[in-house]
């Protein structure tokens, strides 16, 4: 048994409280579908402070916490109590789910989903592939033609965190970015019944996140040659892929080869190599129509 007069006991209890508070604020915000920037505006607490709070990386004054609780429409006591019944079971199930292997997570999602998988995806189209393939260009054009919102997941992350992507990566690291990416995917799927989505090329390497993407969206792999990938990225003004890295092309080819089996899980493919955006758009419209991605009876 721990000595209750031992200072380390207070430190342990404090660390547990901060971790518990971080989880409850994060879960309360997600359950209400609030981007962090929106919660910041509602509470008057900066996005950076909220990010640290949700990561369990900093203390927060009672006054600021009261603002956050009010914006989340919960009692501050619920955020601080050691044994809050409203989230105890949810937190336990969420922990078990995160610790489960990907195939078991898939089984749980299938069991909990009351809808036919085809109906669950109807109306949502996601473009996957490496950077430079043409996802953003085609996604924006398709959204205009179809009268549907076009969303780039990385921009959703920037909106949620209130900072540019390079700062997100610097602050959260790759693992943190992947968690934000998974959260953003859940958020946009909940928000939109019909949409065109473009995601970062590496999302396919996150098995659980990619599994949810394939469940909720009709997917199209936008592809091109390694040379065109590199050329288009440089044309966008980003010289980093080649600058000071003579083996960049070999690395790109190896990355594309490694991810090809994952990209091939998409329901369709479009090769944009040596094609005009308008020609590739026609291909995308044909796929959406013939495969009834927008549901039966919805022609492009």
**pLDDT tens digits along 48-95:** 888 888 888 766 677 777 788 787 777 776 777 665 545 555 656 766
Rounded distance between C-alpha atoms, residue 17 and residue 259, angstroms? 41
Structure-token pair, residue 291 = 């495969």
What pLDDT score was predicted for residue 263? Answer: 96
- Given 75, 99, 123, the domain boundary residue is 99
What pLDDT score was predicted for residue 297? Answer: 55
- Give the angle subtended at the CA of 121 by the CAs of 120 and 126, to the nearest 5°: 150
User: Do 111 and 66 fall within a single domain?
Assistant: no
Whether this prediction's pTM lies above 0.75 is answered by: no
Going by C-alpha positions, the residue among 231, 213, 223 that lies closest to residue 269 is 223
What pLDDT score was predicted for residue 4? Answer: 45
Query: Considering the chain, what is the average pLDDT of its residues?
Result: 82
User: Do 83 and 143 fall within a single domain?
Assistant: no
User: Do 177 and 244 fall within a single domain?
Assistant: yes
SS3 (DSSP) at 38: helix
User: Do 122 and 268 fall within a single domain?
Assistant: yes
Rounded distance between C-alpha atoms, residue 19 and residue 26, angstroms? 11
Structure-token pair, residue 223 = 């592809």
> Residue 70 contacts by C-beta under 8 Å, 6 or more apart in sequence?
43
Based on DSSP, count helices (H) and strands (E) in the chain, helices before strands: 15, 5
How crowded is residue 189: how many other Cβ atoms within 10 Å of its Cβ? Answer: 20
297: in domain:
no
What pLDDT score was predicted for residue 158? Answer: 94
117: in domain:
yes
At residue 1, does pLDDT exceed 60? Answer: no
What pLDDT score was predicted for residue 115? Answer: 59
Domain that holds residue 154: 107-290
% pLDDT > 90, the chain? 38
298: in domain:
no
């Amino acid at each position: 048994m721990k000595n209750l007069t031992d200072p380390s006991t207070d430190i342990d209890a404090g660390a547990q409280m901060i971790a518990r508070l971080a989880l409850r604020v994060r879960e309360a915000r997600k359950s209400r579908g609030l981007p962090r920037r929106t919660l910041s505006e509602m509470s008057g607490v900066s996005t950076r402070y909220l990010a640290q709070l949700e990561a369990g990386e900093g203390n927060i004054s009672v006054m600021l916490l009261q603002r956050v609780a009010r914006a989340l429409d919960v009692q501050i006591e619920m955020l601080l109590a050691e044994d809050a019944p409203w989230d105890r079971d949810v937190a336990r199930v969420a922990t078990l789910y995160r610790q489960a292997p990907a195939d078991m997570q898939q089984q749980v999602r299938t069991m909990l989903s009351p809808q036919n998988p085809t109906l669950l995806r109807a109306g949502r189209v996601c473009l996957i592939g490496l950077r430079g393939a043409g996802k953003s260009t085609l996604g924006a054009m398709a959204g205009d033609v179809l009268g549907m919102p076009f969303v780039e997941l990385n921009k959703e992350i920037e909106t949620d965190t209130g900072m540019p992507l390079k700062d997100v990566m610097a602050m959260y690291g790759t693992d943190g970015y992947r968690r934000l990416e998974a959260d953003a995917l859940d958020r946009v799927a909940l928000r939109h019944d019909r949409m065109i989505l473009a995601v970062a090329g590496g999302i396919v390497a996150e098995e659980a996140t990619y599994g949810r993407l394939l469940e909720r969206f009709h997917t199209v792999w936008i592809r091109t040659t390694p040379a065109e990938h590199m050329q288009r990225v440089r044309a966008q003004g980003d010289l980093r892929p080649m600058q000071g890295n003579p083996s960049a092309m070999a690395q790109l080819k190896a990355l594309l080869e490694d991810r090809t089996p994952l990209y091939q899980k998409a329901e369709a493919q479009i090769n944009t190599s040596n094609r005009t955006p308008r020609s590739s758009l026609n291909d995308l419209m044909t796929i959406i129509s013939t495969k009834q991605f927008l549901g039966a009876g919805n022609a492009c």
